[in-house]
Structure 1
Amino acid sequence: MTETLKKFVAGLELDTRMLGMIGALVILWLSFNMFTDGRFITPRNIFNLSVQTASVAVMATGMVFVIVTRHIDLSVGSLLGLIGMLMGTLQVHILPQFLGLEHPLIWVITIVAGVAVGVIVGAAQGWVIGYLAVPSFIVTLGGLLMYRGAAWWVTTGQTVAPLDSNFRLLGGGAEGTLGAGLSWLVGIIATIAAVVMMVLSRRQKNSHGFKLKPLWAEFTLGGIVIALILGFVTVMNSYPLPKGAVRRIYEARGEEIPQFAVMHGIAIPVVIVIVIAIIMTIIARRTRFGRYVFATGGNPEAAELSGINTKLLTVKVFALMGALTAIAAVIASARLGSVGNDLGTLDELRVIAAAVIGGTALAGGIGTIYGALLGALIMQSLQSGMAMVGVDAPLQSIVVGFVLVLAVYLDIAYRRRAGQ
């Protein structure tokens, strides 16, 4: 039986490290569900977990590129706080003076401005690192201190609220969801896209003469992916909106309040994460920029000798990290509905931990986007579970720190055993 199982797993050609992470996540969920009397694995908590993971997950996809190129970015948490404060000030104190309150363009202008700031700041850091040869650790450590202080000076430490109502939808909550119908539509589209991508990938491998998986393995993997997508949609559509929220939403629309239960569906931040993950995966696997990133991380000297402009590449990587940090700032501030001076505090550690736990090698050259997302989910599950169990905040920090060190040790041991 064991031998048959080994052959089955080998035929699927799955990453054993990823299987280990999935196994760890399953154990975490089952353990917390037991200690919380079945309150952890519920539609409500999984919905909250998905929303809470979103901002860190977005930044973790960018941190993969940063670490793969043998750099580090300690400034993302402070930069998120600064961009969040600037966007809050823009939409609360500046734009309404010119456009009026709740103007439909306020949230668009705010996001464009925030992303622009993120790209400029990230590119500036990348230029100092790439062209002036200042270590990324020092540059971004300085950024961590400067941006946190700058965020305070924007409003002298005052909280900015309330944010634009359209902007707040991007943070999830009762109104920031797709609803049951749109969620099923997204699930069906995602299922079709997953099948098409698997077919195209198989055809491409065949055209280049690479070894193909057995058809039974392709069908099995396809079935697992489809089951996960539709299962997630089913769970999200099993979490009903509170009656008060339903009444408020339908009265604002001028529509009759339904007598049946209205479901949350997939939260908008989760849709943003999915879109970002797809784009970043395509960049990593299908573009010249992505190939250059991994080639540089694998051997910077050889990459430079082969004609890759590693200095400019560093600028681009950190500019991309800045843009993703701005998107994460949108999600984080919109979810809270306000921006305080502590927004993003310690997020840099959560983001780095998510990437490393997800399999990104600190030595560079190795990392995956899906691994970073899984790492972010593991980190958030650990923190949320401990909070539900009643573990004190200081002890939570101790556990998270220990898990990070353990994850790095296990990663080193795995790669040494695999000969990487």
Structure 2
Amino acid sequence: MSDVAGTGAGTTPKRSLMAQLEIDTRLLGMLGAFALLCLVFTVVTGGTFLSARNIFNITIQTVSVALMATGMVFVIVTRHIDLSVGSVLAMCSAVMAVVQTQWLPQGLGLPLGHWLIAPAAILAGLAVGTAIGAFHGYLAGYQGIPSFIVTLGGLLIWRNVSWYTTGGQTVAPLDRTLLMFGGSEGTLGPTWSWVIAILACVVAVAAIWSARAGKARHGFPVKPVWAEAAMTAILLAAVLGFTAILNSYLIPSAKLERMFEARGETMPEGFTLGHGLPISVLILIVVAVAMTVIARKTRLGRYIFATGGNPDAAELSGINTRWLTVKVFALMGFLCGLSALVAQARLQSHANDIGTLDELRVIAAAVIGGTALAGGIGTIYGAILGALIMQSLQSGMGMVGVDTPFQNIVVGAVLVIAVWIDIIYRKRSGAMK
């Protein structure tokens, strides 16, 4: 009787501390695993793993896979799979490469370095990726061909079409403007990095406390004020600390001299300048925010998760699941094109093996990040964190001299273990409800 009385209309049932703080235990576990990974490699490498240079390198190496992983979340949530993303990336990269080095110079007489080269190449790559993705979605959604088969065929087709597009040749050099999207060749510098970091902090604080006010206004439970303030402080410290680390990684003096010479100036004696935030990382941040907004605030996002939760019920409720499949795969293709831009610019060339095995890395990042292969569950931030964990793992193993085959063995084992842990977690969560 006491239990019944304690939950009457005039009282609020007590919630555990974890429930009050609204902490995602899966995210907390991933962050703990990532922290442990960094600690181990830092000790083994004598502190080199967490040096500003290595953090910068890991960051720019993560971007390409992380971009595609955000799209893979939507694909897997809707109970599909895309095995072709690495090959579509290669196809988009091949198109961008030949547009800027062959088609425009030979067709329109535009020299490499002309202002029209970079935007035309980028738009061509994005258009090709979107078209291929939409075609895959059409075959899966309207023709009823399993997405596994459609994209498995795409894996073979687009990889080899890209080979024919470039004649099997590595394409280089590329347009200098396009190279700015690769990482070290395109950074914002300390000043603008701090400006963007501070603006991001202001927006984050406003969003967090606005969401809190909205919950309270509609009578939903909210975190204690101290907990909200503590979580906000941790987020701000992470943003500002990350910015400080990137700003502390100095541009080599020889490169600085070339930059001054290109402007017709002489570099002052003892002048130094930090890299700051790479443009590619800024692109990832924008995409992550946009995809999160789509997932949480738009009709498309609600339809995606509703379809993944129960496709039959979603269709009976009026959702055009076939057209939704086309949209999801088209978005995936667009992100492949964007990743092709970043990967090509970072490597400063188009090679035939670009994007090889990226489909496995992307799927692994999404799954390690908590996206359920059964559909209906997944987060954008989880996929990005999964990509970061995988890249950190590979980078750390490379620094301690682990052979590439064994690196792949470890990554495969981590993927299987992550899925196993996810299954256990969901079983226990279901048993608790």
Normalised by the size of structure 2, how large is the TM-score? 0.94
Residue 105 (structure 1) shift? 1.8
- 1:41 counterpart = 2:50: yes
Q: Could you list the runs of 5+ residues in structure 2 that have no partner in the other structure?
A: 1-14
Which of the numbers 29, 38, 41 marks the counterpart of 2:38? 29
Which of the numbers 219, 226, 229 marks the counterpart of 2:236? 226
Q: Where in structure 2 are the equivalents of 1:188-199 lying within 5 Å?
A: 188-199=198-209
Which of the numbers 285, 300, 319 marks the counterpart of 1:274? 285
Q: Where in structure 2 are the equivalents of 1:1-400 lying within 5 Å?
A: 9-97=18-106, 98=108, 99-173=110-184, 175-258=185-268, 259-400=270-411
Q: Distance in 1 between matches of 2:418 and 2:189?
A: 37
Normalised by the size of structure 1, how large is the TM-score? 0.97
Residue 111 (structure 1) shift? 0.9
Q: Could you list the runs of 5+ residues in structure 1 that have no partner in the other structure?
A: 1-5
Q: Distance in 1 between matches of 2:17 and 2:49?
A: 32
Residue 384 (structure 1) shift? 0.6
Superposition RMSD in Å: 1.2
Which residue of the partner structure matches residue 3 of structure 1? none
- Given that 1:177 and 1:266 are in contact with CA atoms closer than 8 Å, whether structure 2 keeps it comes out as yes
SS in 1 for 2:168: coil
Q: Which has the larger radius of gyration?
A: 2
- Given that 1:180 and 1:237 are in contact with CA atoms closer than 8 Å, whether structure 2 keeps it comes out as yes
| AA partner of residue 233 (structure 2) | G
| AA partner of residue 70 (structure 1) | R
- Given that 2:20 and 2:222 are in contact with CA atoms closer than 8 Å, whether structure 1 keeps it comes out as no
- Given that 1:96 and 1:103 are in contact with CA atoms closer than 8 Å, whether structure 2 keeps it comes out as no
Q: Distance in 1 between matches of 2:213 and 2:380?
A: 23
| AA partner of residue 276 (structure 1) | V
| AA partner of residue 246 (structure 1) | L
- The count of residues paired between Structure 1 and Structure 2 equals 414
Select between 127-136 and 100-109 the one with higher mean Cα deviation: 100-109
SS in 2 for 1:367: coil
| AA partner of residue 26 (structure 2) | R
Q: Distance in 2 between matches of 1:303 and 1:190?
A: 36
Q: 1:193-234: per-residue Cα shift (whole Å, max 9, x none)?
A: 111111221122223321111111111111011000000001
Q: Distance in 2 between matches of 1:178 and 1:148?
A: 34
- Given that 2:56 and 2:246 are in contact with CA atoms closer than 8 Å, whether structure 1 keeps it comes out as yes
Q: 1:62-102: per-residue Cα shift (whole Å, max 9, x none)?
A: 00000000000000001101110110011111223322220
Q: Distance in 2 between matches of 1:62 and 1:413?
A: 26
| AA partner of residue 202 (structure 1) | R
